[in-house]
């Protein structure tokens, strides 16, 4: 064969196999690149990162800096209630609550205050020593009882709880009275904190020069300390009321309300349940003061002005800060090339070992938060609940899609399809999924707030005329400018009783259940009540018979209409007996 022809044949074979290799290897290489290559770059935009500035040195959003800038607006050391609050409540166990020495230095420098040498409240109300004092007092009061057994011990443990719910004197609980006197400086600091205009208490992890947003630890944001402060203030207010120091009792009760409202401005949606509980504690203390009938008219008017000065917004707070924290987490996952430890191993493998278009993940996060904010801002409850139902339906669909990944292999082929898988997983377990609960808590707070305002207004009218009015409209316009509606648009229902009154909202079902509530946590109303009377009943299921007290409670429960969801107060409030009054003395 001609050498030239042989050469051409060899070249042809090489070309053929080269083409075969190209046809086979190039798509394979492309598939490998698309699967295991770098992630597409993140686009800085409202639709993806939500904020476009400030940026880190890597060109990614600095969410911590953005959050801090928003939180610092208008704050000075002079108007920041967090400074006297920390001076009063500086955590005793610094390491456990996040205030290590380095955290303390960074935080206090940011706030413009020296690091506290210690807390004004040097001893916790529920310390072991205080618990021992409770038991000792109980034994002394039960003079004819032999050393306390398990049943009497349980009664002794109630002393501090009862002192939060009724007025009391130094004679009633001497050791608690001494504790309050010892910590007078701390109470003054807390009242001073509550009377400030602003609240700025950032998570120390945001102040270290990095870009990490807070992880949501309650201790780092002062939530644990705020809970303890509210308990301390309520205890002191009830003691002041019992001792006749009414002006101081009102100042301390209002301090609980104001501290809760200040903290609410900076709280995350995950904190709302606690914040509502703190506000509820303030309302309970204020209503207890009104129930006693001993408050003079000027003090009642000061109470009403205190509540009117901080009205509750019509809608729940937006998700802005929660959204930024969530987006920061996703951006950090894209940068580190890892996700979170997930019991769904395929999800973890996708996020850490394959290319993902995180722009789609960020976009999905924003879309859901946008929908949540639109839903909560709608003008009527039926509209809000309908929109929330659509969000919950979408979330359920995402969860269903994750549970059937094996039947959809095409969802793993491209960075875009893998991003949708990760979005489904992420938003099915996080995101603004508590919209319904958040709305119900806000509605409960709105009802509590208005019930308390009306209770003060009715107490004012009683102080002026010696009795409660026959109808609520008597309050207008001399005491309050107009009668409020509940969050469902219905008026509050008022019934004058022989020695007081019953006042209630008809609740979400808008049915007049006579001020009764069947209980149940799904709608935020967890206490069984019959016509405003709370039923405190724990039935011994091991016994075939009911005690007289259990039978009386059971009979009341049977009278509550099925599905009742009214939220009521009934005046005068019952006075809880002390433990030594509950249990009759035993003979020697």
Q: Which two tokens stand for residue 441?
A: 């808590």
Residue 338, domain member (yes or no): yes
Handedness of CA 251, 256, 257, 261 (dihedral sign): positive
Residue 109, domain member (yes or no): no
Number of domains in the chain: 2
Please tell me which residue, 416 or 261, carries the higher pLDDT value.
Answer: 261
Predicted pLDDT at 418 = 74
> What residue spans of 37-120 are helical by DSSP H?
63-72, 82-89, 94-97, 101-111
Q: Environment class of residue 213 by beta-carbon count within 10 Å: exposed (0-12), middle (13-18) or buried (19+)?
A: buried
Residue 173, domain member (yes or no): no
Q: Environment class of residue 542 by beta-carbon count within 10 Å: exposed (0-12), middle (13-18) or buried (19+)?
A: exposed
Residue 25, domain member (yes or no): yes
- pLDDT exceeding 90 applies to what percent of the chain? 45
For the residues 5-9, what does the mean pLDDT come to? 63
Domain edge (last residue) among 421, 437, 453: 437
Residue 52 has pLDDT above 50, yes or no: yes
Residue 538 has pLDDT above 70, yes or no: no
Predicted pLDDT at 117 = 81
- What are residue 55's DSSP bridge partners? 61
Q: Residues 138, 187: contact at Cβ < 8 Å? A: no
Predicted pLDDT at 9 = 65
Q: Residues 120, 183: contact at Cβ < 8 Å? A: yes
Residue 453, domain member (yes or no): no
Cα atoms in the 13 Å half-sphere on the side-chain side of 436: 15
Handedness of CA 183, 185, 189, 195 (dihedral sign): positive
- Among 6-10, 58-62, 289-293, the range scoring the smallest mean pLDDT is 6-10
Domain edge (last residue) among 415, 437, 459: 437
Domain edge (last residue) among 390, 407, 437: 437
Q: Which of 123-137, 202-216, 252-266, 449-463 has the highest mean pLDDT?
A: 449-463
Predicted pLDDT at 150 = 45
Predicted pLDDT at 320 = 84
Predicted pLDDT at 5 = 63
Q: Which two tokens stand for residue 147?
A: 């050393």
Q: What secondary structure, in 3-state letters, does 209-275 show?
A: CCCCCCCCCCCCCCHHHHHHHHHHHHHHHHHHHHHCCHHHHHHHHHHHHHHHHHHHHHCCHHHHHHH
Residue 65 has pLDDT above 70, yes or no: yes
Residue 186 has pLDDT above 60, yes or no: yes
**DSSP-assigned letters across all residues of 505-517:** E-TTTT---TT-B
Angle, in degrees to the nearest 10, between helices 223-243 and 272-292:
0
Residue 562 has pLDDT above 60, yes or no: yes
- Among 175-189, 259-273, 283-297, 516-530, the range scoring the smallest mean pLDDT is 516-530
Residue 208, domain member (yes or no): no
- Domain housing 405: 319-437
Quick: pLDDT tens for 363-398. 988 998 999 999 988 988 899 999 999 988 888 887
What's the chain's average pLDDT? 82
Residue 448, domain member (yes or no): no
Residue 64, domain member (yes or no): no
Residue 258 has pLDDT above 50, yes or no: yes
User: Rounded to an integer, what distance in angstroms lies between the CA atom of residue 511 and that of residue 530?
Assistant: 15
């Amino acid at each position: 064969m001609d050498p030239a022809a042989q050469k051409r044949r060899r070249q042809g074979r090489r070309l053929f196999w080269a083409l075969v290799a190209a046809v086979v290897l190039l798509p394979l290489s492309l598939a490998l690149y698309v699967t295991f290559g770098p992630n597409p770059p993140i686009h800085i935009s409202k639709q993806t990162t939500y904020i476009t500035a400030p940026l880190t040195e890597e060109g990614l959003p600095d969410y911590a800096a953005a959050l801090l800038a928003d939180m610092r607006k208008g704050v000075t050391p002079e108007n920041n209630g967090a400074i006297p609050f920390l001076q009063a409540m500086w955590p005793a166990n610094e390491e456990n609550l996040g205030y290590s020495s380095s955290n303390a230095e960074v935080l206090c420098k940011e706030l413009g205050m020296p690091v506290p040498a210690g807390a004004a409240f040097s001893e916790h109300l529920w310390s072991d020593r205080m618990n021992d004092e409770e038991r000792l007092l109980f034994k002394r009061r039960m003079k004819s009882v032999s050393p306390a057994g398990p049943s009497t011990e349980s009664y002794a443990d109630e002393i501090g709880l009862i002192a939060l719910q009724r007025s009391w004197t130094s004679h009633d609980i001497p050791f608690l009275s001494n504790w309050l006197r010892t910590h007078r400086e701390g109470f003054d600091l807390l009242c001073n904190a509550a009377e400030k205009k602003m609240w700025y208490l950032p998570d120390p992890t945001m102040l270290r020069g990095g870009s990490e947003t807070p992880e949501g630890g309650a201790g780092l944001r002062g939530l644990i300390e705020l809970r303890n402060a509210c308990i301390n203030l309520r205890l002191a207010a009830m003691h002041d009321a019992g001792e006749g120091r009414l002006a101081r009792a009102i100042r301390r009760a209002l301090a609980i309300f104001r501290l809760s409202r200040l903290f609410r401005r900076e709280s995350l949606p995950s904190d709302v349940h606690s914040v509502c509980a703190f506000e509820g504690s303030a309302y309970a203390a204020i209503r207890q003061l009104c129930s006693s009938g001993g408050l003079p008219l000027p003090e009642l008017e000061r109470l009403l002005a205190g509540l009117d000065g901080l009205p509750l917004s019509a809608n729940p707070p937006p998700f802005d800060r929660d959204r930024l924290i969530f987006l920061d987490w996703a951006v950090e996952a894209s940068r580190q090339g890892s996700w979170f430890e997930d019991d769904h191993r395929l999800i973890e493998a996708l996020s850490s070992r394959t290319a993902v278009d995180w722009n789609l993940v960020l976009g999905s996060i924003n879309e859901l938060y946008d929908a949540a904010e639109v839903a909560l801002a709608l003008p009527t409850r039926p509209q809000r609940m309908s929109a929330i139902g659509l969000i919950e339906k979408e979330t359920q669909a995402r969860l269903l899609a994750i549970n059937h990944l094996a039947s959809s292999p095409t969802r793993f082929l491209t960075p875009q399809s893998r991003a949708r898988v990760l979005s489904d997983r992420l938003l099915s377990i996080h995101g603004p999924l508590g919209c319904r609960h958040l709305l119900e808590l806000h509605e409960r707070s709105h009802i509590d707030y208005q019930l308390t305002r009306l209770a003060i207004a009715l107490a004012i009218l009683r102080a002026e005329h010696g009795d409660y009015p026959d109808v609520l409209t008597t309050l207008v316009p001399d005491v309050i400018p107009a009668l409020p509606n509940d969050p469902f648009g219905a008026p509050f229902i008022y019934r004058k009783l022989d020695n007081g009154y019953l006042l209630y909202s008809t609740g979400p079902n808008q049915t007049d259940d006579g001020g009764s509530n069947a209980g149940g946590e799904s709608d935020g109303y967890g206490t069984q009540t019959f016509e405003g009377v709370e039923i405190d009943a724990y039935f011994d299921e091991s016994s075939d018979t009911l005690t007289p007290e259990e039978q009386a409670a059971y009979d009341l429960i049977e009278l509550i209409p099925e599905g009742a969801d009214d939220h009521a107060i009934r005046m005068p409030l019952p006075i809880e007996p002390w433990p030594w009054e509950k249990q009759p003395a035993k003979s020697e």
